Structure 1
Amino acid sequence: MREADANRIRSLQLFASMQSERFGALTRGALLQTFPANGNLIYEADNVDYLYILLDGSVELQGRWHDKESTLAVLRPVSTFILAAVVLDAPALMSARTLEKSQVAMLPAEHFRAAMREDAAFAVAVAQELSGCYRGLVRTIKNHKLRSGNERLANYLLTQQIRQGGDTTIELPHEKRILASLLDLTPESLSRAFASLAKYDVEVTGSRVSIGNPAGLRRLARPNALIDNHALPKGVAQGKADKELWPLRNDRGCGAEVE
């Protein structure tokens, strides 16, 4: 593995406190591969021999039941995935495939677990990472169970507005099939939700979305710090200027776009 790639992995909070010699030993046994778009990395129920780290591109995590499948998360660099299965030495609960040409590092699972046993600070970092993943999952479940489809879409658009610099025109990062799954909607329900947001001057042209009334959209979304990554911090009034941005929180679920 190139030093530049190892440094990108090292920059992750998961590995930041790991002893240098142990990190070097772990990455020396790593594989670094480039996969084409729509490349299958993992299938549900597979034994997990590696911890996967997305360095470039994007990866979709999916679940399937009979003839149904759903997008559970979309990952952007630099992100780990299948961490819980590696820690527990358990089969994968999700499938993973690339959405575009992607570069993925793979750290041997057995060596990863050995490092956890031998390096206390690293074991704590793993626990913190898994805790963030868990909290991200709880946020997603609350979002899906407690909100209408229109409210979920409104909050998603606000999140994307922040990530893309605060402009009132944003680009949807995924095709609408994936976006519908992320929001726990059918494609038809997603289309109806977009249509219902027209009263807030939300206009959709292909993958481009114009948000003409951000304040009105926020009133519909009612962002909440216990659900959303874009919620206002305590003491900041909802009536602040439309272009004011507030920081995304840390526990967003292993780099996954699930909100």
Structure 2
Amino acid sequence: MPNVRPGEKPEIARLPLFREMQEEQRERIFSGSFLQVFPPQLTLFELGQHPDFLHVLIDGLVELYATSAGRDTTMRIVEPVTSFILAAVVTDMPYLMSARTLTSSRILLVPAALVREVVKQDCALMQATMRELALAYRDMVRALTDMKLRQSAERLGNLLLQQERRQGGNGAVQLKAEKRLLASLLGMTPENLSRAFAVLGQHGLEVDGAQVRFTDQAALEAFSRPDPVKDDD
């Protein structure tokens, strides 16, 4: 794997995790890291493995999933630009999830031991690491609350409202993952997901393949009951 090339350094230096670091420490990260393109459907690591690298998704799409008794479920669909799974790297403990690419993905690989070493020496990286871990915790709380307090159609509606904000707030959503993965992420069967889309069709939603359009956003919000506390997406 090639090290980070000089032409790639400015792009990586702008990433939230690294942009406030001391230049000397950032160069240490660059000197030990690799930027690689992975093909679709490639397993990056598996549940129970020890983390050798911190993965930072630059371009593409990655699925985090858990497996038990021959079944698996989607835990998160990772979009650029973000790291995964930072908690395992910081604690030097085995992964609780597996990861695979969904599309061709460009990923920065930072040696886990190097991350732990530099975090101790660079206050800005430590603060950025704490922020990413805190945001991941908030995402987990939201997902757990969603699963416990909302019915399937409400969970789908709430997710689409979140995605609409993140994709520009123009009343439309482009589904980036297959619907079977979306169903797994929301704790549904594909059949239940289809029924949930049908229910939302009565509350201001139109679906055409991977394109989703809000025809009555107020009605969709009234039905889906979006989170009253919103983070900066």
Calculate the TM-score normalised by the size of structure 1: 0.83
Structure 2 residue aligned with 1:41, among 31, 41, 44? Answer: 44
Q: Contact 1:58–1:102 at 8 Å: present in 2 too?
A: yes
Q: Contact 2:51–2:89 at 8 Å: present in 1 too?
A: yes
C-alpha separation in 1, matches of 2:8 and 2:23: 15
1:23 maps onto 2:50 in alignment: no
- For 1:234, the equivalent position in structure 2 comes to none
Q: Deviations over 1:179-232 (max 9, x none)?
A: 112222121111111111222242323222232221111111222233x55xxx
C-alpha separation in 1, matches of 2:171 and 2:119: 45
- With 203-212 and 150-159 compared, the bigger mean Cα shift is at 203-212
Q: Deviations over 1:117-158 (max 9, x none)?
A: 222332222112211111111111111111111111111222
Which residues of structure 2 form unaligned runs of 5+?
none
1:83 maps onto 2:86 in alignment: yes
- For 2:199, the equivalent position in structure 1 comes to 196
SS state of the match for residue 177, structure 1? helix
Amino acid at match of 1:223: P
- For 2:56, the equivalent position in structure 1 comes to 53
- For 1:164, the equivalent position in structure 2 comes to 167
Against the structure 1 CA distance between its residues 176 and 132, is the aligned structure 2 distance closer, same or farther, given a 3 Å change threshold?
A: same
Structure 1 residue aligned with 2:77, among 52, 74, 78? Answer: 74
Against the structure 1 CA distance between its residues 212 and 51, is the aligned structure 2 distance closer, same or farther, given a 3 Å change threshold?
A: same
Post-superposition shift, 1:4? Answer: 4.1
Q: Contact 2:161–2:226 at 8 Å: present in 1 too?
A: no
Percent sequence identity over matched residues? 41
Amino acid at match of 1:113: R
Structure 1 residue aligned with 2:14, among 7, 11, 15? Answer: 11
Amino acid at match of 1:54: L
Post-superposition shift, 1:170? Answer: 3.1
- For 1:243, the equivalent position in structure 2 comes to none
Post-superposition shift, 1:169? Answer: 4.2
Q: Deviations over 1:14-45 (max 9, x none)?
A: 22222110110111111221111111111111
Against the structure 1 CA distance between its residues 9 and 223, is the aligned structure 2 distance closer, same or farther, given a 3 Å change threshold?
A: same
1:138 maps onto 2:141 in alignment: yes
SS state of the match for residue 109, structure 2? strand
Post-superposition shift, 1:8? Answer: 2.5
Q: Contact 1:45–1:92 at 8 Å: present in 2 too?
A: yes
C-alpha separation in 2, matches of 1:223 and 1:9: 34
SS state of the match for residue 91, structure 1? coil
1:185 maps onto 2:188 in alignment: yes
Which residues of structure 1 form unaligned runs of 5+?
230-248, 251-259
C-alpha separation in 2, matches of 1:171 and 1:128: 28
- With 135-144 and 199-208 compared, the bigger mean Cα shift is at 199-208
1:217 maps onto 2:224 in alignment: no
Against the structure 1 CA distance between its residues 78 and 3, is the aligned structure 2 distance closer, same or farther, given a 3 Å change threshold?
A: farther
Post-superposition shift, 1:7? Answer: 2.4
Q: Contact 2:66–2:75 at 8 Å: present in 1 too?
A: yes
C-alpha separation in 2, matches of 1:162 and 1:124: 26
Structure 2 residue aligned with 1:150, among 153, 164, 167? Answer: 153
- For 1:241, the equivalent position in structure 2 comes to none
Calculate the TM-score normalised by the size of structure 2: 0.92
C-alpha separation in 2, matches of 1:19 and 1:207: 43
Residues matched between the structures, number: 230
C-alpha separation in 1, matches of 2:16 and 2:228: 22
C-alpha separation in 1, matches of 2:130 and 2:169: 33
Amino acid at match of 1:104: I
Q: Deviations over 1:72-106 (max 9, x none)?
A: 11112221111111111111111111111111111
The CA RMSD measured in Å over matched residues stands at 1.7
